[in-house]
A = this chain, B = another copy of it.
């Protein structure tokens, strides 16, 4: 157990929203925030290993530049001066992008990914690259350890981003999800995270595994942090965000067909959330998804492999020796997925999507469902945990938010997921903002 002590005055401890308020009020400089984060990283990262690339001097120079802009031209946005981490399979023009693959060990892209460009245009800056499972898909694990217990995984594939935010090394970081790569690390590291509706955030510049599934997301220390980024990337409806009250909120308690995989820590996290929400006036009722939804996890696996087959073909042809066996097998379709299976998987998902959206309305505002099977498992070099609680939502394309606040029997964070209908991201964030203080003591 290495949980950090809460010290309100340390900039590294602040959420992006808190830091932003001080920066915009000229009560804290970007350099102060950055140096504080760097100090936290210096103290912690030999153990946590969240970062694949980080140059402290460069970060300080960047911070000073942004301080100057602030003084002479004013803030570019609320994100002005906020450092953020970028999963190391998302391209950055000023830092390498290794994909945690030996093929790309020296890889320096010419262009920033779209999401990095958008953040920079808002005055935020890339602190560094965060370690990832190889190609965010298989092969090598990240070196990252869970900041709450170094013997455990931070989850994956967005291992470094989840751990860096969960460990207070950086307030915001970007990750991706194809199965459970974004929300599971949020659960394991104890941070907020959103996986938005599919195809509403430009993926360009990130490494594809399966375009039907691949979704960019981001981590923050609070729902406000998630909202700040949502504003920058122009999530549908975010400009008209209306506050939501927990009193009267209709919450569907969705165990789903994956409940058999829920460990006591997750059962507790779910029951605790149910009790706290009910005590705060929410109306929590059990929600059973229609029978076809139980096929979505298998369908997700078929889509991921059926589409992944061609994504690794260039490296298979050009860099076979350095391409991990996991990806060779994908190209060779070693598991023998058939076109008929792929069609059935695509179409099952497509049929379930409007059914899921249709659940929402006068009787349902949001779904409460697990973010992970339980606490982070041991052996980070062997496992990043199980995506079973997340992959259905990825395939359904629906927005999900991880809310931390529960602690498992071993003292590790265990999150719960709030899910809404497709393109309901803004309202889901409003609901999350209301729900967070009820579930998360740090947000209360």
Listed in ascending order, the chain A residues whose CB lies under 8 Å from chain B are 108-111, 114, 117-118, 120-122, 199-204, 207-208, 211-212, 233-234, 236-237, 307, 309-311, 313-314, 317-318, 331, 339, 342-343, 346-347, 350-351, 353-354, 357, 422-423
Contact = CB atoms under 8 A, between A and B. Distances in A.
Number of copies: 2
B211 A203 contact: yes
B339 A347 contact: no
Contacts of A201: 310
B423 A309 contact: no
Most buried by B among A237, A307, A310, A347: A310
B118 A313 contact: yes
Contacts of A314: 114, 117-118, 121, 202
Contacts of A200: 307, 310
Contact of A199 (B110, B202, B211, B233): B211
Contacts of A311: 114, 202, 204
Nearest to A315: B117
22 contacts: A109-B110, A110-B110, A110-B111, A114-B313, A114-B314, A118-B314, A120-B318, A122-B317, A199-B211, A201-B310, A202-B313, A202-B314, A203-B208, A211-B211, A234-B313, A237-B339, A339-B423, A343-B357, A347-B350, A347-B353, A350-B350, A350-B353
A121 B350 contact: no
Cβ-closest 7 pairs across A and B: A350-B350, A121-B317, A110-B110, A117-B314, A339-B423, A347-B354, A114-B314
A354 B37 CA distance: 52
A204 B203 CA distance: 10
B313 A233 contact: yes
Contact of A202 (B109, B114, B208): B208
Contacts of A110: 108-111
Contacts of A422: 343, 346
Contact of A208 (B204, B342, B357): B204
Most buried by B among A314, A331, A357: A314
